[in-house]
Structure 1
Amino acid sequence: MTQETRTEQSRNHDLLYSLHDRPAFWPSTFAALQHVLASLVGVITPTLIVGGVLGLGEHVPYLISMALMVSGVGTFIQCRRIGPIGAGMLCLQGTSFAFLTAVLSAGMIVKSRGGTPEDILATIFGVSFCAAFVEIFLSRFIHKLQRVITPVVTGTIIILIGIPLIKVAMTDIGGGFGAENFGALDNLLLAGIVLVSVILLNRSKNPMIRLAAVVIGLALGMLAAFFMGRLDFSHLGSLPLMSIPVPFKFGFQFDLAAFIPLAILFCVSAMETTGDLTANSTISKEPVKGPVYLNRIRGGVLADGFNSMIAATFNSMPSTTFSQNNGVIALTGVASRFVGIYIAAILFIMGLFPIIGGVLQQMPKPVLGGATLIMFGTVAVAGIRVLSHAHLDRRNMMIVAISVGLGIGVSTVPDVLQELPKTVANILSSPVAMGAISAILLSLVLPEQKVEEEEVADAVATEEGVEMTKKKLGEMS
């Protein structure tokens, strides 16, 4: 046995199956089901929210089917690696919450000018298709993108993704947009059941229960809704037996105001995917530097953009790698990329049957809101976590303060932009676009202060503060 082989075995001693191992059918199936369970809510929830907020009604079951099928295809590409496309690791690809705010803004632009649900979907998928090429292009020099999309910019954007969505979650808790019984006690009760269930399950000592906390919480909420007479499955008989993927089923439309926020988010998505794949490499006991690592990152980010292009073609929203599946790898000790083929098959088969989407569409808004309140709050906290790893000197704090203030400001007082040209107003009305443009421009314009200068300035400020305090105490005495 060579020294290299012994080193490799030592590195992988705590994995049941390493990256290139091929587990048997049942171990692979069991591991795949755990990944699906951990990610299912993330895959379907963006579609449920977009369908509810934009009034897409009858199209929702089909859209959920497409989200599941596209996630299956994307996962297969990431794990299998087709040519240069894919990371070649066990990573699940699914519909991304990161694009939700921008997608809703795009839909509202079309809806405000009298567009039909089909027009809304044609614009969302047309713009997403074009914007996906941004990430495909960036994948070729992803290592240089960090000079522009710094942790300060990334953290600011992620916060502005999460905070506006909390309003959507709270509206669902009340009963949904335009609900006649908005704020009724039974709505708050249903949301409370889900919220409390997720909190309690998340505190469990069993790792699998923690991973499935949101799924179980939603199931309990649906059960409570059933006993309250809030579920109606009578329409399920009218659904087709199977969903057939149709490229651009609703047409293809483009809108510049909707394109720019999505293009910016694809830049951020590239950085997030880099982080997810780095964590995946660490957990899977694979290199996190050198040519092999860099090749995987480039392939993974390329697949991220390519899969989002496929998603738009087959009527689903942009997708990205899921970070929670790194936790499943750590929990199960299964890092084999071949398990990804089983995950892909399960998701694709689930997507074939629109009855699954039909059942999920009947989920009462308060039930969904109880879960998404936690999920969207978690997104905002993830942004704060990113900022915590940045050097928050006075310059960076100014960038964050201005960018977050502008982003939240335009989402709460949109009329402030009413005198601007229509296209410009539509672009800047997106909190993500406003905050991202502000953060990037300020990062490029404001000169970075040297660490030594900052430390001296802080020391002087502290010394002056101490002297002033002494002076005040002397006056009081």
Structure 2
Amino acid sequence: MSDATRIKVDLIFGLNDRPKAVQAFFAALQHMMAIFIGIVTPAIVISGVLGLSTAMSAYLVSMSLFVSGIATFIQCRKFGPVGSGLLSIQGTSFTFLSVCIGIGFSVKSAGGTEAQMVAAIFGTALLTSPVEMIFSRFIPFLKKIITPLVSGIVVTLIGMSLIKVGITDIGGGAWLLANKPEFFASPQNLILAAIVLITIIVFNRSANKWLRMGAIVFGLIIGYVVAAILGLVQFEKISTLSLVSLPIPFKYGFAISWAHVIPMALLFLITTVESIGDLTATSMVSGEPLEGDTYMKRISGGVLGDGINSALAAIFNSFPNTTFSQNNGVIQMTGVASRYIGFWISGLLVLFGLFPIVGGLFSIIPSSVLGGATIIMFGTVAASGIRIIASSIIDRRGVIIMSIAFGLGMGVAFVPEVLQNFPPFLQSVFGSAITTGGLTAIFLNIVLPRSYKKQSVTDPMQDMV
């Protein structure tokens, strides 16, 4: 097929159309509804699990919004080879949650301060972000190594690794479990989490697309209100926050957790593949080419922008960024694919990020309320990995790769003592289910011979016997 190969879509505004200001503003607000919670949640979860102060948590949330605004502008505007030039939204990535939490705990266990914890997270991310930039130059080659089977295994392991975090939040949070275990999993906490969980399920199953799209937002709002009525929201913690959050490079210093360099680099490799999929979907719903020079330049530029934006995030005290797939659904529903909408979205994100009160209100969400939402989010991550795996036929070779990757990955997570005779550095590296399982999947995908036997479409499982 030629460079002009496109999927026909029903658009009101195409990629380079310029909607009027009012139309652009409302289109941007709809995107904000879809992405806001996704952008701020990683900072909230990491802050809660690591026990960071309200002031630091609020600042990290503010910087997540600020950096996402700058990153989105870079993607949509496109500067030379950097950026896709599509209506592609950038936001804080869930993929890195487990590794970021692991870095924080490793510094904390060594007696480090909260500033040293986040400095190590951001420093390690900055050091490894060039992985994505480099691989953006080798997109066709990379797609042969990181197949849907491999990326699906890694994404599934990420979701499964985070389930413990979600369940801990439902019970009241890591701090409560460690310091006041007798109050952990109290009826009050479990009921609050259940209210959020049930609300999200009800709205998600609604026939109304707007209610369905805002299910997580509505669930958190209702849980927040109930918690506030019960006196569980500590509003006094945000009374001392400054009026404006200024983006200060390396505000908390710079450090590197060498034991987590390999896990973080692996995740940037996986994020590269995820971004290729997101950008391809954005191109498709925008009625743009899906093959040829234009398409490849956009994909390469988008992935390069992804890596550069993650480096900017580390510099400005935020967590790695990635392309968001949520906006593709909004484009389909609204029929607005103009990249100029991205400029409005960028402006709103930067504006919200400059005012600490926005981050402060999110930073004091009770853990049980957050847990009711994150347990679905993390489960969805695992389910997304399974869907990626299921996108290709699984033969005996695929089953072997999955079995060993999942077995070793989750095995070291369940029984970390199996690594007790390894040097401390290797214990830290391979103690992560993502690293062990992901590297295993990549290695086996390279060395195991492929079967080219044609399989039946009606019986894709026949070769498993």
The TM-score normalised by the length of structure 2 is: 0.94
- The corresponding residue for 1:475 is none
1:169 has 2:166 as partner:
yes
SS in 2 for 1:320: strand
- The corresponding residue for 1:43 is 39
1:348 has 2:344 as partner:
no
Listed one character per residue, the Cα deviations across residues 291-348 of structure 1 (whole Å, up to 9, x for unaligned) are 0000000010000000000000000000101001100000111000000000001111
User: What pairs up with 1:296-335 in 2 under 5 angstroms?
Assistant: 296-335=298-337
Cα distance, 1:293–1:260 mapped onto 2, change above 3 Å: same
Q: Give how far 1:178 is off.
A: 3.3
SS in 2 for 1:420: coil
Amino acid at match of 1:261: P
> Are the counterparts in 2 of residues 94 and 322 from structure 1 also a CA contact under 8 Å?
yes
Cα distance, 1:9–1:108 mapped onto 2, change above 3 Å: closer
Q: State, as a whole percentage, how many aligned pairs show the same letter.
A: 47
Listed one character per residue, the Cα deviations across residues 21-53 of structure 1 (whole Å, up to 9, x for unaligned) are 000111111010111110111101110111111
- The corresponding residue for 2:435 is 433
SS in 1 for 2:91: strand
Q: Give how far 1:255 is off.
A: 2.2
Q: In structure 2, what is the Cα distance between the partners aligned to 1:174 and 1:246?
A: 35
> Are the counterparts in 2 of residues 41 and 215 from structure 1 also a CA contact under 8 Å?
yes
1:204 has 2:206 as partner:
yes
Cα distance, 1:80–1:124 mapped onto 2, change above 3 Å: same
- The corresponding residue for 2:139 is 142
- The corresponding residue for 1:124 is 121
Q: Which has the higher mean CA deviation after the structures are superposed, 196-205 or 106-115? A: 106-115
Q: Whose Rg is larger? A: 1
Q: In structure 1, what is the Cα distance between the partners aligned to 2:463 and 2:122?
A: 55
- The corresponding residue for 1:281 is 283
Cα distance, 1:208–1:394 mapped onto 2, change above 3 Å: same
1:88 has 2:85 as partner:
yes
Where does structure 1 lack aligned partners over 5 or more consecutive residues? 1-6, 463-477
User: What pairs up with 1:406-425 in 2 under 5 angstroms?
Assistant: 406-425=408-427
1:54 has 2:50 as partner:
yes
- The corresponding residue for 2:21 is 25
Q: Give how far 1:443 is off.
A: 1.3
> Are the counterparts in 2 of residues 393 and 454 from structure 1 also a CA contact under 8 Å?
no
Cα distance, 1:291–1:356 mapped onto 2, change above 3 Å: same
Q: In structure 2, what is the Cα distance between the partners aligned to 1:376 and 1:270?
A: 20
SS in 2 for 1:340: helix
Q: In structure 2, what is the Cα distance between the partners aligned to 1:385 and 1:321?
A: 19
> Are the counterparts in 1 of residues 395 and 463 from structure 2 also a CA contact under 8 Å?
no
Runs of 4+, deviation exceeding 6 Å: 7-10, 453-456, 458-462
Q: In structure 1, what is the Cα distance between the partners aligned to 2:464 and 2:226?
A: 58
Q: Give how far 1:460 is off.
A: 9.8
Amino acid at match of 2:137: R
Q: Give how far 1:237 is off.
A: 2.2
- The corresponding residue for 1:4 is none
Amino acid at match of 1:55: G
Cα distance, 1:459–1:245 mapped onto 2, change above 3 Å: closer
SS in 1 for 2:239: helix
Q: In structure 2, what is the Cα distance between the partners aligned to 1:78 and 1:310?
A: 13
Listed one character per residue, the Cα deviations across residues 220-270 of structure 1 (whole Å, up to 9, x for unaligned) are 000110111111211222111100111111111112211111101111111
Amino acid at match of 1:374: I
Amino acid at match of 2:266: I
Q: Give how far 1:8 is off.
A: 11
Q: Give how far 1:9 is off.
A: 12
Q: Give how far 1:452 is off.
A: 5.0
Q: In structure 2, what is the Cα distance between the partners aligned to 1:137 and 1:235?
A: 43
Q: Give how far 1:459 is off.
A: 7.2
- The corresponding residue for 2:156 is 159
